[in-house]
Structure formats: structure tokens, C-alpha cells
Amino acid sequence: MDRAFLLTFLRDLAANNHKTWMDAHRSDYHQARSIYTDFVQGLLHRTQRFEPELTGLTPSDVMFRINKNDRFQQSSEPYKRHMGAGLKVGGRHSAWAGYFVAVEPGGETYVGAGRWMPEPAQLVRIRQEIHYSPDTFHALRQDAGLLHEFPAGLDTSQSLRTAPKGYDRSDPDIEWLRLKSFFVWRAFSDQEVVRTDFPDRIVTAWQAAQPWVHFLNEAMTEN
């Protein structure tokens, strides 16, 4: 599996991010896409062993398109600078928590788990679960296995400036109740991406995050 070729293609794409270049290098794109598809297939097969609810999903169900979605486009570049996948029940666009990997040159490759920017109703349920079961929440986010794989812990970059509706600013867990995302992630260097043990490291990280993912999905489930 030539992940070095994948990184080279994405690096060249970042330097020539326009349709004319992509059209001229379409065969390289298909080769890079094929490499990434095989990579995701291997990860999906191994993840389905400990997450049977993902059984039946294929790489096409979990891989994101390289074309940018106009609704979320933040620049004039028509293509993403990475290839990514979201392994979760229902596929990449489902509303559930799951497991993520995106390969991007320059040390921007990341592996993550959880729910990024849940929908309002889901956000309400997650906050309720944190409020009702703070001991469980803190035990999960501070779990030694999780922090070994994701040393930065829970990402706190997406947060309200004040207390969410229905909660007091003096609540002892207000720091966590203000969050708008519930996600852990870590970056990998290009040198790590091309190593033969890179898939092993991803699966190990996802396994460590499994209790966290299950907590979120149970919280978001409407009773």
C-alpha cells in the first residue's frame, strides 16, 4: 500500500488546487483514491470486529468526497487537501458518533473519535447526560487508555461563551456543558503515515475511544 504516493498526490493537489490541474492528473487521482480506499477497507474490516454495528458498511459508505461542498466552502479551492473517512452507523453523513481518519500532508493527518458539532436536539441530550451522570462522563474523558492515545483529551475549541440554556454559570461542570463538540483527535506526521504500523495505531486509538463513542451514542438516543 503506497501511502507515500497518496501523500505526494495530495501535496501536489494543495499546490495546484484547480480543475485544470485535476483534469490533467486524473489518473494520478484515481490511483491515490484507490490507495486510500484499500487503506479504509482494511481499517473498516478490523473495526467491524469490535464494532459489529458497522458490519455491512463499505469504503464508499464511509469515505468523503474530495470535492468541496459549496455550502461549507471557505475558500475558492474546489478540492479538499485531504482524503477522509467517517466510520459510524449509517455511514459518513449519519448523525451518530464514530471514528474518523483524514490523510493530509505536512503533519495534518489526524485520527479522531466522537461527535463533531452535533445537531441541536442531540446537543441537548448530551448535555443532559453529562449533567445527570457527571461521574461517568469524567471517568470516560479522563480514562488512562483514552489519554494515552489522545493526549490532548477532549477538544474544547468549540464552546459557548456563556452557560447553555437551562444551566447555571456556577454549575461545577459548566466548562463541559458549554461545549458544542465532543471529539478527541490527534495528529500524525508524514513519516508516521507511511510506516507499516500506521493502521495498527489507528485501530488501537479507536478501540481506546470506543467507550467514549458509546457514551455519546447512548446519550443521543431518544428514549
Any residues with CB less than 8 A from the CB of 21 and at least 6 apart, and which? 13
Q: What is the pLDDT of residue 200?
A: 98
- Integer Cα distance of 64 and 73 in angstroms: 15
Q: For cell 494515552, name the residue.
A: 148
Q: Contact 113/206 with Cβ under 8 angstroms?
A: yes
Q: What is the pLDDT of residue 222?
A: 75
Helices 134-141 and 198-220, packing angle to 10 deg? 170
pLDDT, tens digit only, all 223 positions of the chain? 699 999 999 999 999 999 999 999 999 999 999 999 999 999 999 999 999 999 999 999 999 999 987 554 466 899 999 999 999 999 999 999 999 999 999 999 999 999 999 999 999 999 999 999 999 999 999 999 999 999 999 999 999 999 999 999 999 999 999 999 999 999 999 999 999 999 999 999 999 999 999 999 999 997 6
Going by C-alpha positions, the residue among 103, 114, 79 that lies closest to residue 3 is 103
How many other CB atoms sit within 10 Å of the CB of residue 113? 27
Going by C-alpha positions, the residue among 10, 181, 215 that lies closest to residue 102 is 10
Q: How is residue 51 annotated by DSSP?
A: -
Q: What is the pLDDT of residue 1?
A: 63
Q: What is the pLDDT of residue 134?
A: 96
Q: How is residue 133 annotated by DSSP?
A: -
Length of the chain counted residue by residue? 223
Grid coordinates representing 135 are 461521574
Grid coordinates representing 195 are 510506516
Q: Contact 83/33 with Cβ under 8 angstroms?
A: yes
Give residue 162's identity as a one-letter amino acid code. T
Going by C-alpha positions, the residue among 181, 191, 204 that lies closest to residue 46 is 204
Which CATH code is given to the segment(s) 3-220? 3.30.930
Going by C-alpha positions, the residue among 179, 185, 181, 183 that lies closest to residue 131 is 179
- Integer Cα distance of 73 and 109 in angstroms: 20
Q: How is residue 65 annotated by DSSP?
A: P
